[in-house]
Structure 1
Amino acid sequence: MILLVDDRPENLLPLKKILELHRFSVDTAESGEEALKKVLKTDYSVIILDVQMPGMDGFEVANAIAGFSRTRDTSIIFLSAVNTDKKFITKGYTSGGIDYLTKPVDPDILVLKVKTFHKLYEQQQELRDAQALLRREVDVRRKAQEELAERMQELQVVLASLPQMAFTVAPDGRIEYVNEHWYNYASDTTTFPHSHPDDHLCHDWEQALVSGVEFTREVRLKALHAEDYRFHLLRVIPIHQQGALIRWIGTFTDIHPQKQAAELLEQQVRLRTNELLTKNEELERINQELQQFTWVVSHDLKEPLRKIQLLNDTVKVKYLSTNPEAAAYLDRSIQSSARMSNLIKDLLVYSQLSVHEPFQPTNLNTLLAELLQDFDELIYQKRATLTIDELPVIDIIPTRIRQVFQNLLSNALKFSKPDVPPAIHISAERVEHKSIDSPPSPTGDYCRIVIRDNGIGFDEKFLSRIFIIFQRLHTRTNYEGTGIGLAIAKKNMDKHNGLISAQSRENEGASFILVLPIRQTGALLPN
């Protein structure tokens, strides 16, 4: 901004218009006192000052302005129509003026001078800004250097206190600092401690220097006064600042005792593994013998039971048709024989669950359709309704999963409310994880199947019991069963690497939840 100072408005107006035509911002003052007040509040690049003014003349104003720090870069041009002698011109320059023009002044000359002084003012301001920025940069760098020196000193104190060998390395690979433990393995800092030739430590470290990434490995080092090598863990971490590598910090940690312990443990694990393999083979042999024994015993038990049932039926028909009390006792014997037969059959099924069978891709819709044919009569008697959603094709052992569905459907039909037709709904969805509560996922690796009924339900505090063999929540008087069905289902789900659980409330039905892998990874599949 330009400041024009003259006590005569008729002189200010034409000068102001001329400068504004050349796109200068112009301010005016009609006395020296007014000019000083404005200078205190505003920065001016050029002040055009009339010499002859009432009160403070131009020289006095210039002398006063020279004492202001904010006007140190401001150029003062004197204008005078009267004081044209050399002594006045000299006084103008000594008062702080940059130029002295006499009236009448040439407007073009005045504009050129103003432009020159204005540009000089801007250059001086830019120079001062650059100097201030440079001073700040110097201060920042100085503080950064001081902080870096402090941190380096702190780092060295920390490294000196470590029980391991600790060191720092410059970006070019030169070792900068080592703690006292270093000298147990090396006489100087020109190279790393002596390592086993087979470890190729120097070659690998040179590659790490080039890559600039963390370097960790086991090495064998030999102390200066030792004969044997000891295992150490070397870890060197790159330190970056503003994206540039400034140094490496590393440690050698003695892991020889841990290494020896690990080798001893590996030997013990190998020994134990061999023992377990031997035990597993023996167990497998015993299992096979037990399965054969179970089959023989079950077969031998079922045969006399069939004869007992047949003889009881014959006695009842031929000899007790007129004796209701004796027939009732005989009915109880027949029912006990039937329960014994079912128990033997379920035990035989349970004992055969450990037999190895191949997995194969199976359409669960087809499997269920075939299974439901076995329940036709019971479904008709109970007036039950079944709703089955679309089920996927997954890797299973068909006979085993058929047993699972058979037991769950049998329970849903058996444990129904009196005079309430059973309603059973089977749904399926893919899920992300092997979890009962896993979120659905169209590309999940597992399938969650829910069998939901409207039966009598159960209290969930007994959930942990229902999958244990021979555990029952109801008496045989009210509901038939052996207490083995859900245990068979649980064992079959374990064999499929799956999960089974239930959700229920008394008199509000039950939901049995199955989670099965879509694909049995690594499983034995048929060719």
Structure 2
Amino acid sequence: MILIVDDRPENILPLKKLLELHRFSVDTAESGEEALRKVLNTTYSIIILDVQMPDMDGFEVANAIAGFSKAKYTSIIFLSAVNTEKKFITKGYTSGGIDYLTKPVDLDILVLKIKTLQKLYEQQQELRNTQESLRKEVEVRTQAQEALTQQMQALEGVLSSLPQMAFTVTSDGQLEYVNEHWYRYSSDPKKLPECHPDDDICDEWDVAFSQGMEFTRELRLKDLTTGEFRYHLLRIVPIRQQDVVVRWIGTFTDIHPQKQAAELLEQQVELRTSELLLKNTELEQTNHELQQFSWVVSHDLKEPLRKIQLLNDTIKEKFLKENEEAVGYLDRSIRASARMATLISDLLTYSRLSNPETYQPTNLNTLLDELLLDFDETISRTGAKISIDTFPTIETMPGRIRQVFQNLISNALKFVKPDVAPIIHIKAERIATLAIDGEPDTNGSYCRIVVQDNGIGFDEKFLDRIFVIFQRLHTRSSFEGTGIGLAIAKKNIEKHHGLITAQSREGEGARFSIVLPIKQV
């Protein structure tokens, strides 16, 4: 904006119109005091100032304006029709004027000068803006540099306190800082420690460095004091600012004692494994011999028992028919021999459980139908009712899973209430997990089988005992048996990687739950 100062309005108006025709913004003042008030509140690029004014002439106004910050870059052009002498022109320049024109003024020349001064003002303004922007940028950079210096000092303080070798690497891959531990392995802070020839990492580090990736590697470094190569774990992490790697921070952690311990442990494990393999071979041989022994013993024990039973029956029929007391003793001897034969058979069955067998898809419904034929006489005698759900095909060892159901059904038919027909229900459903209470799932990987009866039941505080060999909850006089059946069932289920348990109350029947994998791994 341009300010015209003249005490005569007739001088202001034509000059104002002329400048407005040339698209200049123009303001006016009719006295020096008014001009000073306006300069205090408005920034002007050019002031056209009449020299001869009452009260306060142009020189005085110019001297006053020179002290205003808003007029620091303002150009002053003096106009005068009276004071045309050289001394006045000199005074105008010394008062801060850029030019001193005498009237009559060539308006075209005046306009050209104003345009030139306006252009200079605008260029100076752009230059000042640029300078201010640069000043602020320099200030920001200075603050950033100071903050970075403080961060580096803090980082170096942290790294110097670490028990490991610590260092930093610049973004162009040069070592920047190392802590005191570095000098145990390298005498030069700009040179990496000497690595074992088999632990060269240059190629791997170059790849990690080019991709800005964290780098971790075990290697051996040469101790300058002892000349020994010690195992270290090298870890170098990139530090990013605005997704650009600005430096790397690395550590060498001494893991030599751990490596030695690990190597010693590996040697011990290898030695122990060899010993276990040898022991396992010996154990397999011993098991084989025990199986052969059990067969021989069972045969040798069964044969005398059969002879004892046969001889007792013969004596009973031929010589003691009339002697009821002798017959009673012989019956007890025959029953004891029968129990002994059953016990030997059960023990032989239990010993066979360690023999390996193969899994195969098994139709449990067919297996159960065949098994029930073995109990046909007992079912008919007791009036038992047995219902069986449809089972999915399961991978099992058929002979062993048959033993499980044989023992459970036998117990359900044996442990019954007086004068109450046994009712047995065998049901199955697929579940999602290997858990007795697993959630039903039509596509589950496991099958839950439940054998439910209405027999005499048992107190659940004895649950742990019923699956232990030779453990009985009832006397032989009450119920026959050897106490091995459920132990055999549990061992067979474990061979199938399954679960078995029971729930019961005295007088309310028993519920045996089994979970088996549909397919064996």
- SS class of match (1:464): helix
How far is 1:502 from its partner? 2.3
- The TM-score normalised by the length of structure 1 is 0.66
| Partner residue, 1:304 | 304
Does residue 483 of structure 2 align to residue 449 of structure 1? no
**Residues in 2 aligned to 1:139 and 1:380: alpha-carbon distance in whole angstroms:** 105
Distance in 1 separating the partners of 2:478 and 2:317: 27
1:413-432 aligned within 5 A: 413-432=413-432
2:340 counterpart residue number: 340
Match of 2:516 in 1: 516
2:236 aligned residue: 236
CA 1:173–1:299 in 2, change beyond 3 Å: closer, same or farther?
Answer: same
* Aligned equivalents of 1:426, 1:150: Cα separation in 2: 78
- Once the two structures are superposed, residues 398-444 of structure 1 have per-residue CA deviations (whole angstroms, 9 ceiling, x without a partner) of 11111111112212222223333323232333344433344444444
- Cα offset for 1:465? 2.0
* CA gap 1:213/1:477 in 2 versus in 1, 3 angstroms: farther
- How many Å separate the matches in 2 of 1:175 and 1:436? 63
Question: What is the RMSD of the two structures over their aligned residues, measured on CA atoms?
Answer: 3.6
- Cα deviation for residue 150 of structure 1 reads 6.0
Query: Helix, strand or coil: the match of 2:483?
Result: coil
SS of residue paired to 2:279: helix
**Matching residue of 1:195:** 195
Aligned residue-pair number: 396
Partners of 1:242 and 1:383 lie apart in 2 by 86
Distance verdict in 2 for CA 1:256–1:379, change over 3 Å: same
How far apart, in 1, do the equivalents of 2:139 and 2:370 lie? 87
Deviation at 1:481, TM superposition (A): 0.9
Q: Residue 267 in 1 paired to residue 267 in 2? A: yes
The structure-2 alpha-carbon separation of the partners of 1:399 and 1:224, relative to structure 1 and needing over 3 Å to count, comes to same
Give the match for residue 314 of structure 2: 314
Amino acid in the other structure paired with 1:498: G
Alignment map for 1:394-473 (pairs within 5 Å): 394-473=394-473
**Local SS of the residue matching 1:409:** helix
Relative to structure 1, the CA distance from residue 298 to residue 142 in structure 2 (aligned partners, 3 Å threshold; closer, same or farther) is: farther
Match of 1:364 in 2: 364
Question: Aligned partners of 1:508 and 1:315: how far apart in 2?
Answer: 45
Q: How far apart in 1 are the matches of 2:393 and 2:148? A: 65
2 CA distance for matches of 1:423 and 1:171? 83
In 1, Cα distance between equivalents of 2:448 and 2:463? 19
Q: Which residue of 2 aligns with 1:108?
A: none
1:505 shift after superposition = 2.8
Residue 420 and residue 180 in structure 1: after superposition, are their counterparts in 2 closer, same or farther (change >3 A)? farther
- Residue 301 of structure 1 and its aligned partner are, at CA, apart by 1.0
| 1:265-312 CA-partner distances (Å, limit 9, x unpaired) | 212221221121111111111111111111111111111211222232
Aligned to 1:395, what secondary structure does the other structure show? strand
Residue 239 of structure 1: CA displacement?
Answer: 4.9
Once the two structures are TM-superposed, the CA of residue 339 in structure 1 deviates from its matched residue by 0.8
Counterpart AA for 1:236: I
Q: 1:439 to 1:196 in 2, by over 3 A?
A: farther
- Given that 2:176 and 2:190 are in contact with CA atoms closer than 8 Å, whether structure 1 keeps it comes out as no
In terms of mean alpha carbon deviation, does 151-160 or 375-384 score higher?
A: 151-160
Name the structure 2 match of 1:258: 258
Aligned to 2:479: 479
Query: How far apart are residue 152 of structure 1 and its match?
Result: 5.3
Residues 1:206 and 1:312: Cα distance change in structure 2 (over 3 Å): same
Does residue 1:497 correspond to 2:497, yes or no? Answer: yes
Amino acid of the structure 1 residue aligned with 2:160: A
Say which SS state the counterpart of residue 466 (structure 2) adopts: coil
Runs of at least 5 residues in structure 1 that lack an aligned partner in the other structure: 1-62, 73-136, 522-527
Return 502-511 or 363-372, whichever deviates more. Answer: 502-511
Amino acid corresponding to residue 460 of structure 2 in structure 1: E
Q: State the TM-score, normalizing by the size of structure 2.
A: 0.67
> Match of 2:511, SS?
strand
Q: Equivalent residues in 2 for 1:62-461 (5 A)?
A: 153-170=153-170, 172-190=172-190, 192-239=192-239, 247-461=247-461
